[in-house]
Structure 1
C-alpha cells in the first residue's frame, strides 16, 4: 500500500512540475487579420495590445487551454483614419465593446503537429463558437529558457458578430481570416 501511495504522489508531483501557465512573448507574437476589400484585394491589420494565456500539462497538448484578450482600441491597419472608422459604431463599436476575447473549449490532434482548436469568440457584444486550426511549431531552448511556438488560423464571418453590417460584401468582405503567431517562454522561477 505504501508503494502505491508513494507512486501516486510521485505521479502527481511530476505532472504538477510539468503543468505550466504561460503568457505570450509580446515581442514575438502577433494577432492579425485580413478582410477582402472591394473583392479585389485584402486589407490586413492587427491588434497591437493583447495577451494570450496558455496552460497545458500533457506533452501531446491535448489538454491545452488558450485564453486571448485583445484591446479593440489597439486595432492597427496602418491607416489612422481607417482604424478610427473600425473603432466606430459602424464596425467594432469600441466605446461600448472594447474587448475581443477567445476562450478555448477543446483541442484535438488532427495529424502530426496540426490540431483543431474549438472555443468561444466574443466580439462587439456577441459570443459565438469558432473552430480554428492550430499548428504546434515546436519548442527550442533559448539560452536556458524553453520556448514554444504556435500558429493559429481560422475564418469567421463579421456579420455573425454584427460588425459592419451596413457595408455590402462587395465593399468589405464578410469572411475575415484570422492569423496569430505566438511564442511562449517557460515562466522564470
Structure 2
C-alpha cells in the first residue's frame, strides 16, 4: 500500500515538475464582449489590459489549465461616457472590484480542433462556473524574431453568460441585454523552462 501511495505521489510530482508554461502574446490576443442595445443593435467592448497563461504537462496541451485576469478600468466600448458608466457602481463598480478573473477546471476535446473549456469566472465579487467553446490551432514550431525556433499555439474561445448572474447592472434588459457574448482570442508561446525556473 505504501509503495502504491509513493508511486502515485512520485508521478504527480513528476507531472508538476515537467509542466510547461505558455505566455500570451498580447499584441495578437484579445478579451472582448458583445451586448444588445434597445433590442436593436449590438455594441462591442473589450478589456485593453489583461494577462493570461497556460500550464500544461502534455505536449499536445490536452491537460491545459488556463488562467486569465482583466483590468476592469481598461474597459472600452469606444465611447468615453459609456465606459465611465460601465466602471461605476451601476455596473462593474471598478473601484471595489477592479479585476475579472478566470481559471479553468477542465479542458476536454470534442472533435478535431474543437474543445470544451470549463472554469470559474469571478466578476463583480461573484464567482460562477462558465462553459466556453474553444478552437485550438497548434501547437506548432516556428521561427520567431532572431530566427529562434519557438513553439506556439492559438485559441479562440466563445460563450454566453448572464450579467444578472454576477449582479452587474439593474438596467432593464430591453435597454441592455442580460446575455453577454464573450470572445477571447489568444496566441501563446511556450516559455523556456530554465527562464521559467529562474522566475520562481
Identify the TM-score tier after normalising by the shorter chain: 0.7 to 0.9
The two structures have a TM-score, normalised by structure 2, of: 0.83
1:82 alignment partner, SS class: helix
Aligned partner of 1:64 in structure 2 is: 64
Aligned positions, number: 176
Aligned partner of 2:187 in structure 1 is: 183
Aligned partner of 2:132 in structure 1 is: 132
Q: Distance in 2 between matches of 1:54 and 1:168?
A: 37
Alignment of 1:38-57 (within 5 A): 38-57=38-57
Aligned partner of 2:7 in structure 1 is: none
The structure 1 segments of at least 4 consecutive aligned residues displaced by more than 4 Å after TM superposition are none
Q: Distance in 2 between matches of 1:35 and 1:73?
A: 18
Q: Distance in 2 between matches of 1:156 and 1:142?
A: 38
TM-fit CA distance, 1:27: 0.7
2:51 alignment partner, SS class: strand
Alignment of 1:108-187 (within 5 A): 108-140=108-140, 141-143=142-144, 144-165=149-170, 167-187=171-191
1:78 alignment partner, SS class: coil
Aligned partner of 1:75 in structure 2 is: 75
The two structures have a TM-score, normalised by structure 1, of: 0.88
RMSD across aligned positions (CA): 1.8
Aligned partner of 1:87 in structure 2 is: 87
Structure 2 CA distance for partners of 1:156 and 1:142, relative to 1, 3 Å: farther
Aligned partner of 1:99 in structure 2 is: 99
